[in-house]
């Protein structure tokens, strides 16, 4: 009789230990320890943030501009949406995907005090801002120049050859305040 009771107690103790271990894992947030490197291809790859702009290939095809990398605080917006006109870029480029011909608009998200976007908008002749100040970097004749555009301001750029193709390429936007 005693061995039978002892067996049931040991069995109940094992179940209790398993329940406690599971409960403790749930209470501690389920922290996991990385599995040691075994060389197996079964393990998923590590997630690494590259800050690449989402759907960049689709945007290039549909709107004719390249959005490369950013911190997520400057995003392409619809120029017909009044809330999406924090930064407006005018270009001599006409693309069927533009909601307003010759214009690309960007919205600043978050606090509005920081933002970064590497992009490529050809043939830019001005940058206009709303309630944000930006630094715009433009490339022409293989030289890059940064220009500060204050809040509710506009900066214009000249064509290097007097033709629409001679306007600079906008390569970077940074919110400065």
Average pLDDT of span 130-149: 95
Whether the per-residue pLDDT at 5 is higher than 60: the answer is no
- In our burial notation (b when 16+ CB lie closer than 10 A, e otherwise), range 36-53 reads eeeeeeeeeeeeeeeeeb
**What is the pTM (predicted TM-score) of this model?**
0.70
Q: What would the pLDDT profile of 71-82 be if each residue is shown by its tens digit?
A: 999 999 999 998
Q: Where are the domains of the chain?
A: 56-175
> What pLDDT score does 41 carry?
62
CATH topology of domain 56-175: Gamma-B Crystallin; domain 1 (2.60.20)
Q: What would the pLDDT profile of 94-135 be if each residue is shown by its tens digit?
A: 988 899 999 999 999 988 899 999 999 999 999 999 999 999
More confident residue, 115 or 36: 115
Closest to 107 measured CA to CA, from 140, 73, 136: 73
> What pLDDT score does 8 carry?
47
What share of the chain has pLDDT > 70, as a percent? Answer: 71
CA distance 130 to 57: 28
Largest pairwise CA distance in the chain: 104
> What pLDDT score does 84 carry?
84
- Range of weakest confidence among 60-64, 117-121, 133-137, 161-165: 161-165
> What pLDDT score does 23 carry?
47
* Mean pLDDT, all residues of the chain: 80
């Amino acid at each position: 009789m005693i061995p039978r009771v002892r067996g049931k107690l040991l069995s109940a103790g094992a179940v209790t230990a398993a329940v406690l271990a599971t409960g403790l894992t749930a209470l501690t947030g389920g922290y996991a320890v990385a599995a040691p490197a075994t060389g197996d291809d079964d393990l998923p790859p590590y997630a690494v943030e590259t800050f690449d702009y989402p759907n960049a290939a689709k945007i290039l095809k549909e709107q004719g501009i390249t959005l490369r990398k950013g911190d997520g605080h400057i995003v392409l917006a619809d120029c017909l949406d009044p809330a999406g006109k924090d930064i407006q870029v005018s270009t001599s480029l006409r693309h069927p995907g533009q909601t307003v011909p010759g214009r690309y608009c960007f919205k600043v998200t978050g606090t509005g005090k920081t933002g970064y976007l590497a992009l490529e908008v050809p043939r830019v002749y001005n940058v206009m801002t709303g309630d944000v100040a930006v630094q715009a970097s433009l490339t022409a004749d293989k030289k890059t120049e940064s220009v500060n555009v204050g809040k509710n301001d506009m900066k214009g750029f000249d064509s290097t050859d007097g033709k629409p193709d001679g306007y600079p390429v906008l390569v970077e936007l940074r919110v400065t305040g």
